[in-house]
Structure 1
Amino acid sequence: MSTNQPLARHTLEAKYRRATIGNWILGAIAVFLGIVVLAQTLTGQSPTTGTSVAAESADGAQTTGGDMEFVRREADDPKAIGDVDAPVVLTEWIDLRCPFCASFSRDTLPVLIEEYVDTGRVRIEFTDVAYFGEQSEDAQIAAQAAANQDKYVDYITAVFDAAPDSGHPDLTREVLIDFAEQVDMPDMEKFTADLDDPQIRAQAEAETRNAQQLGVTATPFFVAGQAALSGAQPVATFREYLDEALAAVE
């Protein structure tokens, strides 16, 4: 994803390469509509049904309102980093096969951790979705299996660090298990068993449905305070975005 708007980012790179100018325009419109759906949901209005993944990039920014019910603020949350009482929570929706998520994780996230998380000003909470097929869902389940052993952040970081510069990584079962070994998963037997747990799969499917109902049509998608942002934006864009969210609560 490579733009800024209220939280979104998705569509197969191959589709983009084949797209005509008309398809680009239609994709941009679809993303915009998805963002509007999210804003409507957050402000208590009725969202449009059947929200679908439309693109992996979008432009623009938008302010939202209402209670952020997806903000967890749980002290022992394995899918979060930072002070539970930080003034601002940045929620990020990710797909482990999303190339833009990998770019954000490698290039931007370390800077935000140093400047905002380590200083106690921002907490980051991750939510997994599966927008790129069966392997995305398998990876989503593997991420939860890692979270069950408090290895979530290590695991997703390892996956994103190894991702190709473009395109979607091939995350087979064997590869997912290899990543678990790389991050020294405490109990590999439990990890592999969790990959086949139907309850974890059902939880993963529910997370994806919830994201779609919110209007998260692409990844990475972000919400901080009352505003949303989409795509692997430059560090400067995230600084401005987070500074505005912090200023709103001061």
Structure 2
Amino acid sequence: MPKSTPPAATTASPTRKLAAVGAVIALVVAVLAIAVAVGKAVEEDRDGGRTGAPEAAAPGRVQEDPAQQKMFDDLARKTSRREDGDPLAVGKKDAPVVLVEYADYQCSFCGRFTRETQPELIKKYVDAGTLRIEFRNFTIYGADSERAARASWAAGQQGRFWQLHDELYAKTRKGEALAEDELVDMARASGVRDLGKFRTDLKSAGAERALKRDQDEGYGLGVQSTPSFLINGRPVSGAQPTEVFAEAVEDAAARAAKKPAAGK
């Protein structure tokens, strides 16, 4: 997957806020760089017909380091928005585990995660109140990706973000498949009722601000490829097997359950 560098003028407030935890970000950049390489190797193996991820791909198997864990906890507090009524989130606001996904709608591996892994995570962990998923539009493939991202945000203004999100990822779509009229057709199929408002919102300053907020956050963390994830601050990169995410969620939930007792 291609790499992307942040625009020189990226100075929005979300990035400045993340600068306060510079040590955490430096660590995450390093971990993400390793995870990207591991993730690509795993994905290539899967495409070649082989199965199974290397042991290092599972965050839950990383040796516990209290100082490192504190850094991940700090990062989780900075990146897990937990906003009331966030249309790009699913799950309880106070869920003990938050998975933040940085993704592009032209990314085939992002689609793989959406089709294969996300439904299992929702069924097993979101519905049980353990997990919250927060989506970030991190566009790296240019204008068509940005248009699709704005369309997903516009659908969210009518409560249909996840329906259009899943439709966009139902198969790999690139280029003209993400033209405005095509997006309007997908929005209609996804249950968006006011298509005039949808077109207006898609081109609005609000959509631009929302995309910039997500991109600034990702660039501030050193995200370079999609999909990239944070699970309570711990990085995971690529469309890893579902069991890797399940183990990471369960480990994060177990750590979260220990915190009240540790603070007594």
- Which band: TM-score by shorter chain? 0.7 to 0.9
Structure 1 residue 93, shift from structure 2 partner: 1.1
Consecutive unaligned residues of structure 1, counting only runs of 5 or more, are: 1-9, 13-39
Q: Partner of 1:85 in structure 2?
A: 94
Q: Given the alignment of the two structures, is residue 105 of structure 1 paired with residue 114 of structure 2, yes or no?
A: yes
Instruction: Let me know the Cα RMSD of the aligned residues.
Output: 2.8
Q: TM-score, normalised by structure 2?
A: 0.71
How many positions carry a matched residue from both structures? 209
Structure 1 residue 207, shift from structure 2 partner: 2.2
Q: Partner of 1:244 in structure 2?
A: 251
Q: Given the alignment of the two structures, is residue 230 of structure 1 paired with residue 251 of structure 2, yes or no?
A: no
Distance 1:169 1:104 in 2: 23
Q: Per-residue CA shift, 1:2-57, capped at 9, x if unaligned?
A: xxxxxxxx428xxxxxxxxxxxxxxxxxxxxxxxxxxx969532857xx9x99994
Consecutive unaligned residues of structure 2, counting only runs of 5 or more, are: 4-17, 39-56, 63-67, 258-264
Range 63-72 or range 98-107, more displaced: 63-72
Structure 1 residue 140, shift from structure 2 partner: 1.1
1:44 to 1, 22, 38: 22
SS in 2 for 1:89: strand
User: Cα distance 1:129–1:117, how it changes in 2: closer, same or farther (>3 A)?
Assistant: same
Letter in 1 for 2:150: I
Letter in 2 for 1:152: F
Q: For the Cα contact (< 8 Å) 1:181–1:188, is it kept in 2?
A: yes
SS in 1 for 2:193: coil
Computing the radius of gyration from Cα coordinates, the structure with the larger value is 2
1:190 to 174, 197, 200: 197
Q: Partner of 2:167 in structure 1?
A: 158
Q: TM-score, normalised by structure 1?
A: 0.74
Q: Partner of 1:203 in structure 2?
A: 210
Q: For the Cα contact (< 8 Å) 2:144–2:175, is it kept in 1?
A: no
Q: Given the alignment of the two structures, is residue 177 of structure 1 paired with residue 184 of structure 2, yes or no?
A: yes
User: Cα distance 1:204–1:233, how it changes in 2: closer, same or farther (>3 A)?
Assistant: same
User: Cα distance 1:112–1:46, how it changes in 2: closer, same or farther (>3 A)?
Assistant: closer
What stretches of structure 1 move > 3 A for 4+ residues in a row? 40-44, 53-57, 60-64, 167-170
User: Cα distance 1:248–1:103, how it changes in 2: closer, same or farther (>3 A)?
Assistant: same
SS in 2 for 1:123: strand
